[in-house]
A and B are shown apart, each in its own frame.
Chain A
Amino acid sequence: MINSKGMVAQLLGQDPGWVIALKGLLIFIFCVVLTIMAVWGERRIVARMQMRLGPNRVGIFGIIQGLADGVKLALKEDLIPKTADKIVFIIAPIISATTCFMAFAVIPLTGEVSFFGHKTVMQLTDLPVGVLYVLAIASVGVYGIVLAGWSSGSTYPLLGGLRSSAQVISYEVAMALSLVAVFIYAGSMSTSDIVVAQDRWWYAVILFPSFAIYCISMVGETNRAPFDLAEAEGELVGGFHTEYSSLKFALFFLAEYINILAVSSLATTLFLGGYRAFPGLGFTETWLGGWFTLFWFFAKVLIFFFVFVWLRGTLPRLRYDQFMQFGWKTLIPVSLAWILIVSTLRVMSDQGAPQYLIFGFAFAVVLIYLVISNYSDNAKAKLATDYKNFTPENPEFPIPISNRTEQVIQIRDEAKK
């Protein structure tokens, strides 16, 4: 059993070359197969939510639909627009598709297992700054999208690429900030150490605000509905991948799904105790020589994936300004305030502050929150009453007379009756 920090790094240090190579290959296969299944799963689930059946023709329950789609994409004609910057146009999907795999290198998939007689964990490598590495890789992945949008030499992809860069930058800030609380509590940035630190309580419970912020920003980070403004098929045709076809498009498709799995895996690792069993089922962790932990990891990732699909089936796409406003004016300030609170509490308990002081601090925080929310509610109420008392017939400032004004007058008059 892994029960102390740094043990995983030690175990991984003893891996011979062939084990590392085999693990890399397995992780790659795992990602690709999971993507193929995810495409099918998503379409089936969304279809159910819309009272359809979804793909059910290829194989049992249409299970190899993803594979069929992949083959179809690969056999399609590969077009490169005349105005495209050829080299960048080709490099962009490659950047997207390669970086998304790299995040999985530091994700611990299992606890201690026997891998062909060799004692190890299913994790390619363990970095002391593993989570930062994942964040960095995710940011590099955005280059793929931005460059694709820019190099297509076309308007919609450019808009999509710009949106995507703005989006990922703003949501990555919130995402990284939400992880700070985890680092403070775990005392480490290594993924395996964070899992070890969650042996009693999952961070999703004790750091719930962080968890919520991470969950929201990870949807923004992966360009998924309702934050799929970069693709926005309703307004930008396909966004950054409008001009892409055949295998290059398939690479973007692959990257999108692997990114979803990567952020879900990270969320599982940081907040849901990674490969550890659900509470009360800890005895299952030793089943199958420890391999059963892979099942728990999978289960948690798939729950996240289901939520991704569920969001897509439920929510309409956000308007761009509202989306940015939400990121910068809500998520980031809330994360900052939360970090302040968490770090203060942490320092207090580390320095052995008396219990009443800690409770007093928590009480003060709640009080401040109530005061602020009261103020914002009052401001909103004032705005609403101002709006109600607004008389378009006799405004305080000149307004252009338009159909809209007449409509407002009409609606108001009807309401008065």
Chain B
Amino acid sequence: MTKNFEDHDSNNLIPRNDEFGLSKAEQDSKFIADQAPAPLLKQLLGFWVTFKSMFKKVNTVQYPEVKEPTAPRFHGRHQLNRHPDGLEKCIGCELCAWACPADAIYVEGADNKPNENYSPGERYGKVYQINYLRCIFCGLCIEACPTRALTMTNEYELADDQRGKLIFEKEDLLAPLRNGMVKPPHPMYPNTTDENYYRGEVTSAHPSQGTVNND
């Protein structure tokens, strides 16, 4: 992996300004009085350029009807992920809220009761709010999250007609329960600690944890 990275010679990259002919323009950045004006016919060629482009393919995307996929790493709406057995990954540590430069995240943690866990380990996020009127989609919260509980989706349609509707609660942000997951609160997988969860050793729900979601 690292070797490949070193092999990637920076000389192989085409500088952006070459692509757009800017470096070429810089080469002829002579003093303006040294450049004779183009002959009249050549100046009039500009009209042909605009006329010609009337018949070119337009770049417009008919947005609400046609939606183009975003870039794979587009910073969209957040999502709170789950472990494979349905427990939430969020442990209510508030690191995301502290990392947030726009102060858009509010988290309140609480203690998990024995056998009624929301997340593996001691704590879980009881209240989790993201204010999308403040969020600048920088992704620092995702970098801060120690359990990979918070990630971003590609969803970008986040407009609404009331301010209140743009404060997303925990249930709005939580990933859906997939097949084979058990709706928390429920006990942890038998004979495991939170560390087993983080190492990815819990891959499915155990019958003792509760009824499995089978939509």
Contact = CB atoms under 8 A, between A and B. Distances in A.
Interface of A: 45, 47-53, 310, 313-315, 384, 387-388, 408, 411, 415
Nearest to A315: B46
Given A53-B62, A411-B30, 13 more contacts: A45-B54, A48-B53, A49-B51, A49-B54, A52-B58, A52-B60, A53-B58, A53-B60, A310-B50, A314-B49, A314-B50, A387-B33, A387-B34
B31 A411 contact: yes
Nearest to B44: A314
29 contacts: A45-B54, A47-B58, A48-B53, A49-B50, A49-B51, A49-B54, A50-B53, A51-B53, A51-B56, A51-B58, A51-B59, A52-B58, A52-B59, A53-B60, A53-B62, A310-B47, A310-B50, A310-B51, A313-B50, A314-B47, A314-B50, A384-B33, A384-B34, A384-B36, A387-B33, A387-B34, A388-B34, A411-B31, A415-B30
Contacts of A387: 33-34
Contacts of A49: 50-51, 53-54
B34 to A, nearest CB: 7
B172 to A, nearest CB: 31
Nearest to A48: B54
B3 interface: no
B57 interface: yes
Contacts of B31: 408, 411
Nearest to B56: A51
B40 to A, nearest CB: 12
Band of interface residues on B: 10 to 19
Interface string B72-85: 00000000000000
B33 A48 contact: no
B30 to A, nearest CB: 7
A310 B50 CA distance: 8
B30 A51 contact: no
Contacts of B36: 384
B57 A51 contact: yes
Contacts of A415: 30
Interface in B152-194: none
Contacts of B59: 51-52
Interface string B181-212: 00000000000000000000000000000000
Q: Chain A binding site: helix, strand, loop or mixed by DSSP? A: helix
Contacts of A388: 34
B39 to A, nearest CB: 12
Contacts of A50: 53
A297 B89 CA distance: 74
Contacts of A48: 53-54, 58
A411 B145 CA distance: 53
A59 to B, nearest CB: 16
A249 B192 CA distance: 73
Contacts of A384: 33-34, 36
Contacts of A47: 58
A45 B62 CA distance: 18
Interface string B4-40: 0000000000000000000000000011011010000
A50 B50 CA distance: 8
A415 B35 CA distance: 13
10 smallest CB-CB distances across A and B, nearest first, come from A53-B60, A48-B54, A49-B50, A314-B50, A313-B50, A387-B33, A53-B58, A51-B59, A51-B58, A52-B60
A357 B47 CA distance: 41
Contacts of B60: 52-53
A45 B50 CA distance: 10
B166 to A, nearest CB: 26
Contacts of A315: 46
Interface string B132-151: 00000000000000000000
A384 B47 CA distance: 28
A314 B57 CA distance: 18
A381 to B, nearest CB: 9
Nearest to B35: A384
Nearest to B36: A384
Nearest to A408: B31
Contacts of A51: 53, 56-59
Contacts of B54: 45, 48-49
Contact of B46 (A45, A53, A314): A314
B194 to A, nearest CB: 54
B74 to A, nearest CB: 23
A11 to B, nearest CB: 41
Contacts of B30: 411, 415
A313 B56 CA distance: 15
Contacts of B58: 47-48, 51-53
Contacts of A310: 47, 50-51
A62 to B, nearest CB: 12
B123 to A, nearest CB: 51
Contacts of A45: 54
A23 to B, nearest CB: 36
Which of B50, B51, B53, B56 lies at the interface centre, i.e. has the most chain A CB atoms within 10 A of its CB?
Answer: B50
A50 B54 CA distance: 7
